[in-house]
A and B are shown apart, each in its own frame.
Chain A
Amino acid sequence: ETGVTQTPRHLVMGMTNKKSLKCEQHLGHNAMYWYKQSAKKPLELMFVYSLEERVENNSVPSRFSPECPNSSHLFLHLHTLQPEDSALYLCASSQVGWDTGTGNVRLNTEAFFGQGTRLTVV
């Protein structure tokens, strides 16, 4: 297996269900991301795990809960979702490091994406 793999590819769930999306990267990267893609809107960054730090978008509802047990795996736990949460959920990974000169995070590779999970909430 190579690249970034997301499972499942499609998911239909009721508003009272609990489900999880899984992402696995085989690229040796140290940063992973969850994005929500809705039609005609910019990709919305939901969560970042980078250099052992979690960064989150404060506008993401608490019914979305990320988990990153190690640098290769990322989960998005879903519970009591709403119909407006229906979208394509994309996982990505990249390699980052510290720029010792500026103290900023330096990007060593672009983001590599999985094929996404198409989520429908009914």
Chain B
Amino acid sequence: AQTVTQSQPEMSVQEAETVTLSCTYDTSESDYYLFWYKQPPSRQMILVIRQEAYKQQNATENRFSVNFQKAAKSFSLKISDSQLGDAAMYFCARYNFNKFYFGSGTKLNVKP
């Protein structure tokens, strides 16, 4: 099955602290791409970070970084120094065979 699982429907973090969102996926392929997307209330899905499966080094984008464990099929997102603007739905996604597969999302609340 080509599934992406996000086991945390909702999480909360204090402003300026660090939070980690979990994602696992299922694929029999060795070549694929992984993503984290953010969807604020405006509904626009915005790319947060991207990882190609053949790259062993974990991707980072400013305060956002991933922990990619290929053997475990795990792809978690760490947000450091959380800001109020980080509050949104976060979706984990995988691409292969011409398709993007998405998880059900994690709602992140940021407390001031």
Q: Which of A13-21, A39-47, A61-69 contacts B (4 or more CB under 8 A)?
A: A39-47
Q: Separation in Å of the A76 CB from the closest CB of chain B?
A: 17
Given contacts A104-B31, A116-B43, contact A33 B100 (CB under 8 A): yes
Contact B98 A42 (CB under 8 A): no
Q: Which residues of A contact B105 (CB under 8 A)?
A: 40, 42
- State A105–B29 Cα separation when bound (angstroms): 13
Contact B100 A111 (CB under 8 A): yes
Q: Which of A35, A40, A51 contacts B104 (CB 8 A)?
A: A40
Given contacts A92-B100, A105-B98, contact A113 B31 (CB under 8 A): no
Q: Which residues of B contact A48 (CB under 8 A)?
A: 98-99
B84: CB under 8 A from chain A? no
Contact B45 A90 (CB under 8 A): yes
Q: Separation in Å of the A20 CB from the closest CB of chain B?
A: 20
Given contacts A43-B91, A113-B44, A115-B44, contact A96 B98 (CB under 8 A): yes
Contact A110 B91 (CB under 8 A): no
Q: Which residues of A contact B98 (CB under 8 A)?
A: 31, 48, 50-51, 53, 55, 96, 105
Residue of B nearest to A45 (CB): B99
